[in-house]
Structure 1
Amino acid sequence: MKIKAMNIGFGAHVEETDLTALTQDDVDGLRAALLTHGLLVIRNQKLSPAEQIRMSEVFGALETFSPGEGQLTDYPQIFRVASRPVEGHTNVGRYWHSDGSFRAQATPISIWYLVAQPAHGGETLFADLREAYRALPDEAKPAIDGLITQHRNGIKHPLVIRHPATREPTLYFNVGLTDGVVGYTPEQFMTLRNDLDNHLSRAGAAYVHDWREGDVVIADNFRVAHRATPISEDQHRILDRTTIRAGGVYWGRAQI
């Protein structure tokens, strides 16, 4: 197995590996690589739903979804996103977010596997939340370091969190589901929301993943945010996602 860092400051390609036949050295390498790079891209895999579940468990215990919520009756660990309503959830996450931020104990890791490849459209953007914090003007950091955001369901999180394994500060903000900041007026919140959205979208900050059939992408949700792009129903795309639940994650040993 080879780990090759991307040239954008985060993320890595994992090459020469078969996710259905991982050795313990492979497992250790994947965990360490995710913690070091925040995002892993692995191409040319062929996984059944059961195999996707098994390889995902390398990173910890999986979240499960109720019947109908995940869409795959026999595999409650898989959440299916698709371009067509009859095949999965559509119009999901077209704003900067980390999966599971609406939970009191947020989702640490997300893993996607592309089942059906569209001819065009449906790319996913990824942004480095550690670098997003570092890139803020020094004079702006004290003003946001203690802020608490609130989701629409009432769940609250610090806007600046410490990664549970590396202890490095990162911005942690769901642009679509956050509806306030404790102590802020609605107008102040909207100004901050727009500023953060623009900051995450700043030129050159995002990795754009153009999906190919057999792709597996693994994201550390405390280090990397993502955003979906539109795809029409005339394109055929199926993307199966598994997520590691809070308290069940296996972090590797990072090289920071």
Structure 2
Amino acid sequence: MKISAMHASFGARVEEVDLVSLTQRDTDLLHTALLEHGLLAIRNQKLSPADQVRMSEIFGTLETFPPGEGQLADSPQIFRVASRPSNGHTNVGRYWHSDGSFRAQATPISIWYLVARPADGGETLFTDLREAYRTLPDDRKASIDGLITLHRNGVEHPLVIRHAATRDPSLYFNVGLTHGIVGYTNEEFMALRHHLNEHLSRAGASYVHHWLEGDVVIADNFRVAHRATPISMDQHRILDRTTIRADGVFWRDGYSRADASER
């Protein structure tokens, strides 16, 4: 397996691996790489829905979706997004977010597999939440440390989180679903929301993934946020997504930074 960094602060390309037939060593390397880089991009895979489920399970226990919500009757672990309503969920996540932040126990990892490639459009943008926090001015850090966000469904999360495995601080903010900040007026919240959105979108901060058929992308949602771009129904794109449960993620079994030196 070959793992190489692909962005200034985050993300890695993984090559010379077959996700259908992973060894324990492969699994260990992918675990370490995800925690080191936050985002892994793997090309040229051929996965059935069952293959995707099995591959995803190396990162932990999968979330499941009710009949109809996930779109695949035989694979409730797969949430399908698409450019056409007949194929899956459309117009999903066109703002900076981490999947599953609306859950009281937020979703730690998302995994996407491209089933159908569009001729044009449909890229996904990713940005490093650890770097977003690091690059804030010190006075801004001091003003937001300890703040609690409110989702539209009432779920609360710290605005600045520490990763359970790495202990690194990150800016954890869902631009579309966050409804307020505890103790803030609506005007104060909207001003902060605008500032944070601009900061996450700052020049040079994003990695743009141009999807190819057979691509797999794996994101640590506590390290990396993503944003979908518009795509016309004239285009044909299908992305199958699996997500890991908070109470079953692999790093609950422990992780040491020393693991990275073994790669």
TM bucket normalised to smaller:
over 0.9
The aligned counterpart of 1:3 is 3
Q: How does 1:48-59 map to 2 (within 5 A)?
A: 48-59=48-59
With structure 1 as the length reference, what TM-score do the two structures score? 0.99
CA deviation map 1:231-256 (0-9, x unaligned): 00000000000000011000254449
Q: Quote the Cα distance in structure 1 between the aligned partners of 2:239 and 2:7.
A: 26
Q: Does 1:140 align with 2:140?
A: yes
The aligned counterpart of 1:65 is 65
Q: Quote the Cα distance in structure 1 between the aligned partners of 2:240 and 2:103.
A: 20
Q: Does 1:32 align with 2:32?
A: yes
The aligned counterpart of 2:232 is 232
Q: Quote the Cα distance in structure 1 between the aligned partners of 2:139 and 2:145.
A: 11
SS in 2 for 1:188: helix
The aligned counterpart of 2:199 is 199
TM-fit CA distance, 1:139: 1.5
CA deviation map 1:18-41 (0-9, x unaligned): 000101100000000000000000
Count of aligned pairs between the two proteins: 256
SS in 1 for 2:149: strand
Q: Percent identity?
A: 77
TM-fit CA distance, 1:140: 1.1
With structure 2 as the length reference, what TM-score do the two structures score? 0.96
Q: Does 1:23 align with 2:19?
A: no
TM-fit CA distance, 1:8: 2.0
CA deviation map 1:153-202 (0-9, x unaligned): 00000000000101110000000000100000000000000000000000
Q: Quote the Cα distance in structure 2 between the aligned partners of 1:56 and 1:168.
A: 24
Q: How does 1:152-231 map to 2 (within 5 A)?
A: 152-231=152-231
* Letter in structure 2 aligned against 1:101: S
Q: Quote the Cα distance in structure 2 between the aligned partners of 1:8 and 1:175.
A: 24
SS in 1 for 2:86: coil
CA deviation map 1:186-233 (0-9, x unaligned): 000000000000000000000000000000000000000000000000
Q: Quote the Cα distance in structure 2 between the aligned partners of 1:7 and 1:225.
A: 15
TM-fit CA distance, 1:69: 0.5
Question: In 2, are the aligned partners of 1:8 and 1:207 still within 8 Å (CA)?
Answer: no
The aligned counterpart of 2:103 is 103
SS in 1 for 2:180: strand
| Coordinate RMSD, CA, aligned | 0.9
TM-fit CA distance, 1:7: 3.3
